[in-house]
């Protein structure tokens, strides 16, 4: 089984971007850790990061026949992008949202996810560890859908 890990705008700056909010782990640190988790779960990963909304949508379109599901940190597009939500529903890719910070405890404009109603779950506020929890949850959900 192949699972996608999709990261949105500014996540390429993790480790240096507002470490008090987002922590000190870099995106490479997170993806390296996830590779080990994926191996222990018997899954392969496809990873991508893009700062543009259209780029993220193009990635999802390209993955629609390759991956079984996606862990996504859409960054600020979480709160604004109906187009990204529509790309998930159009491709029928199950996904779990992950957020390093607790979006529900942030500024009012960050407390709502337009993706959430199409997702199978969300992990937020647990820092870089949230990616592992999201991956494990997604793989378990996909396995139970196969049964």
Nearest to 112 by CA among 78, 81, 73, 87: 78
Coil, strand or helix at 65: coil
End-to-end CA distance of the chain: 14
- Examine the residue annotation and report whether 77 is marked as an active-site residue of this protein: no
Identified catalytic residue from 79, 99, 112, 133: 99
Active site residue 133: no
The maximal CA–CA distance of the chain, rounded, in angstroms, is 43
**Beta strand ranges found along 41-120 (DSSP E):** 44-49, 69-73, 95-99
Q: Catalytic amino acids?
A: 22, 99
């Amino acid at each position: 089984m192949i699972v996608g890990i999709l990261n949105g705008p500014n996540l390429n700056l993790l480790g240096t971007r507002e470490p008090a909010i987002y922590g000190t782990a870099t995106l490479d640190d997170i993806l390296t850790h996830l590779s080990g988790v994926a191996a222990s779960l018997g899954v392969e990963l496809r990873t991508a990061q893009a700062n543009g909304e259209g780029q993220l949508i193009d990635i999802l379109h390209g993955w629609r026949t390759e991956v079984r599901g996606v862990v996504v940190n859409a960054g600020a597009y979480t709160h604004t992008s109906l187009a990204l939500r529509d790309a998930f529903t159009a491709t029928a890719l199950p996904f779990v949202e992950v957020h390093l910070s607790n979006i529900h405890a942030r500024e009012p404009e960050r407390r709502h996810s337009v993706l959430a109603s199409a997702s199978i779950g969300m992990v937020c506020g647990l820092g870089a560890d949230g990616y592992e929890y999201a991956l494990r949850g997604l793989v378990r959900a996909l396995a139970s859908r196969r049964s």
